[in-house]
Amino acid sequence: SYRLESYFFLLDPWRHCTHIDTFNTWIKIAFCMGKEKRWKAIKYLENYYGFKKDEESFIWKSNSPMTKKIKEMQEFLGLEVTGKPDSGTLDLVQKRPDVNVAIKKAFSVWSSVTPLKFITKDRGDADIMISFAAGGNSHSDFLPFDGPGGSVAHAYAPGKDLGGDAHFDKDETWTKSTEGTNLFYMAAHEFGHSLGLFHSKDPNALMYPVYRKFDPSVFPLHQDDIKGIQYLHGNSHESAEIKDPTESKEPALPNTCSPDLTFDAVTTFRGEIMFFKDKQVIREVDFHLVSSFWPWLPSGVDAAYEIPEKDETHLFEGNEFWVVRGDTILPGYPKKLYILGFSKDFAKIDAAFYNRKKGENILLHRGQILEVKFYNQRNESMERKPRLIKDAFPGINGKVDAVFQHENFLYFFHRRKQFEFDFDKKRVTRLLKTNFWFPC
């Protein structure tokens, strides 16, 4: 099931009321609209604005429930709040249901080649919640949009909470043609993520990570997309059983208050601290699959750090690394670790952090500290010979599982403990439990 949240041009309730000042005269909806128009108006406000119909609700006056709901809608849409179906409001609500058509068409792309069936829900929760949000609005996640251009949409892999949801930038010029950004095309791409697909390396595939122009009248799904979706959900001739996306064979969620808690990597990310454990990423007390935020990233993260001034996050897994901005991978990544000066058979690093005071990218491996210089997306190299961790950070001995910087401190994790290292004093100031950051 899916639900399209907070959209407004699906119905056309006030087409014949533009000449009536309904605010100053108590005129019933039935008079200006007729029975069908009245039903549509009531149904629209019921579905999207929680309107409860009763006898008094049908009267237009300053304090009537109907007027209040119109004001609520106008405020949400950024219109002048009058409580009346004025011309500005009519210009919006009279638009044809292009959004609904594009969304349904996007779902049909996937249902045509799988046994999946999609059902629209007018209210309540759904497996795929669809919303449009303007730049600066975090819309229930921590990946706000950036206005026209840039990031236009993102979606989360199947799972609980945000899992499966698709968000679109309200500031984009959405169209049904090749001009602007075609809503159908982007929705079909994002719903691919909602159904569990990663990005494709094939430039002709719908799931290729770069938006491209296409003929909207002819849209054959590429074979790479078909193979991927049918691998996950079967082909259209198989049983139409739809599994609950929350049912999986994933390992049990980590107990953040367990004395045996350990982490694979830790980093800050846009003001939050993110803890990586197996396939999970933990934000304070919320758990999400890593693939919910970065669908193209293999399960598990060995090391991670953020460069706040660039709004970049560096992620390491196995012998590869990625540089991302928000949920978008930068061009040219992933890259192999050997381009930094490691041998080609180098398997993985243990931990990494960004020294904000000196602007240094620091990688840790087997008791050694390695400084790496990222000149740009094409030119990276090891800056100097490896040093011992215990020499650079007195008191930090042995293997480091994860590390991150918070304010003027570094926090080194080793098994069930973490060491707080003061940059200024150049010594360990506290020995803490791994779950120090959680309300246990």
Is pLDDT larger for residue 383 or for residue 401?
A: 401
Domain containing 417 — which CATH number? 2.110.10.10
* Cα–Cα distance, 386 to 391 (Å, whole number): 11
Report if residue 376 sits inside a domain: yes
Q: What is the pLDDT of residue 54?
A: 57
**In terms of domains, do 61 and 115 share one?**
no
Looking at per-residue confidence, does 165 or 327 come out higher? 165
Task: Tell me, yes or no, whether 254 lies in a domain.
Answer: no
Q: What's the token pair of residue 239? A: 């049983």
Q: Are residues 83 and 153 in the same domain?
A: no
pLDDT above 60 (res 378): no
Tokens of 202: 């094939």
Higher pLDDT, 153 or 66: 153
Please check the confidence at residue 248 and state whether its pLDDT lies above 50: no
Same domain, 205 and 271: no
Which range among 287-296, 307-316, 402-411, 419-428 shows the weakest confidence by mean pLDDT?
A: 287-296
Residue 79 burial (10 A CB sphere; 0-12, 13-18, 19+): middle
pLDDT value at 36 more than 70: no
**Average pLDDT for 422-436:** 88
Q: Which of 233, 253, 280 is the last residue of a domain?
A: 233
Same domain, 333 and 424: yes
Same domain, 226 and 326: no
Q: Which domain holds residue 48?
A: 7-93
Residue 141 annotated as part of some ligand binding site: yes
pLDDT value of position 251: 53
Cα–Cα dist 279/291, whole Å: 8
The rounded mean pLDDT for the chain is 73
Instruction: Tell me: pLDDT of 84 over 50.
Output: yes
b/e per residue, 174-208, with b = 16+ CB within 10 A?
Answer: bbbeeeebbbbbbbbbbbbbbbbbbbbeeeebbbb
Together in a domain, 206 and 121: yes
In a domain, 249, yes or no: no
**Is residue 241 annotated as part of the catalytic site, yes or no?**
no
Does the residue 250 lie in any domain? no
User: Residue 238 corresponds to which tokens in the numbers above?
Assistant: 């198989």
Q: Which residue did the predictor score with more confidence, 78 or 181?
A: 181
Q: Out of 65, 93, 121, pick the residue that ends a domain.
A: 93
169 annotated ligand-binding residue: yes
What mean pLDDT comes out for the span 10-36? 36
Per-residue model confidence as pLDDT tens digits over 152-193 = 888 888 877 788 888 888 888 888 888 888 899 999 999 999
Give the burial class of 49: count Cβ atoms within 10 A of its Cβ; 0-12 exposed, 13-18 middle, 19 or more buried.
middle
Q: Is 302 annotated as a binding residue?
A: yes
CATH code, domain with 111 = 3.40.390.10
414 marked as part of a ligand binding site: no
Q: Which long-range contacts does 137-140 make (Cβ < 8 Å, 24+ apart)?
A: 139/167, 140/165
Do 79 and 49 share a structural domain?
A: yes
Q: Is residue 288 part of a domain?
A: yes
Residue 326 sits in the same domain as residue 290: yes
Backbone phi, psi, residue 134, to 5°: -85, 165
Nearest Cα to 223, choosing from 238, 207, 212, 210? Answer: 207
Q: State the first-to-last Cα distance of the chain, in angstroms, to the nearest integer.
A: 37
- Residue 426's closest CA among 404, 402, 409? 409
Q: Are residues 117 and 87 in the same domain?
A: no
Instruction: Tell whether residue 228 is among the known ligand binding residues.
Output: no
Q: Quote the number of domains for the chain.
A: 3
Task: Tell the residue number behind the tokens 């570094």, with chain if given.
Answer: 410
State yes or no: 199 annotated in a binding site: yes
Q: How many helices (H) and strands (E) does the chain have?
A: 8, 24
Task: Given the residues 55, 190, 320, 420, select the one marked as catalytic.
Answer: 190
Phi-psi region at 211: left, alpha or beta (left = phi > 0; alpha = psi -120 to 50): beta
Query: Percentage of residues in the chain with pLDDT exceeding 90?
Result: 7
b/e string for 335-364 if b means 16 or more Cβ within 10 A?
bebeebebeeeeeebbbbbbebeeeebbbb
Residue at 375 is within a domain: yes
The amino acid occupying position 114 is: T
Euclidean distance between CA atoms 431 and 227, whole angstroms: 51
Report whether the peptide linkage leading into residue 386 is cis, meaning its omega lies within 30 degrees of zero. no
CB 428 within 8 A of CB 400: no
Residue 53 has pLDDT above 70, yes or no: no
- Listed residue (280, 274, 319) closest to 300, CA to CA: 280
What is the structure's pLDDT at 190?
92
Asked if pLDDT for residue 25 goes beyond 70, the answer is: no
Environment class of 154 (CB within 10 Å of its CB; exposed 0-12, middle 13-18, buried 19+): buried
Whole-number pLDDT of residue 3: 59
Q: Which of 66-75, 235-244, 253-262, 382-391 has the lowest mean pLDDT?
A: 235-244
The model carries a pTM of: 0.46
pLDDT of 9 reads 33
Annotated binding residue 264: yes
Same domain flag for 300 and 405: yes
CA 325 to CA 318: how far, in whole Å? Answer: 21
In sequence order, what DSSP letters do the residues of 363-398 get, joined into one string? EEETTEEEEEEEEETTEEEE-S--EEHHHHSTT--S
- The proportion of the chain whose per-residue pLDDT surpasses 70, expressed as a percent, equals 66
Q: How confident is the model at residue 39 (pLDDT cuts 50, 70, 90)?
A: low
Q: What average pLDDT does this structure show over 86-91?
A: 63
Q: Which of 146-155, 193-202, 318-327, 421-430 has the lowest mean pLDDT?
A: 146-155
Query: 415 and 324 in one domain?
Result: yes
Same domain, yes or no, for 44 and 171? no
Task: Classify strands 128-133 and 166-169 as parallel, antiparallel or unpaired.
Answer: parallel
- Known binding residue 21? Answer is no
Q: Answer whether residue 260 is part of any domain.
A: no
- Given 62, 77, 93, the domain boundary residue is 93
In Å, what is the CA distance from 103 to each residue of 13, 110, 142, 294? 22, 12, 24, 23
> Which pLDDT does position 246 carry in this prediction?
39
CB 214, CB 208: distance < 8 Å: no
241 appears as a binding residue in the annotation:
no
Task: Assess if residue 259 is contained within a domain.
Answer: no
Q: Is 189 annotated as a binding residue?
A: yes
Is position 139 annotated in a ligand binding site? yes
β-pair partners for 414: 417
- CA max distance for the chain: 84
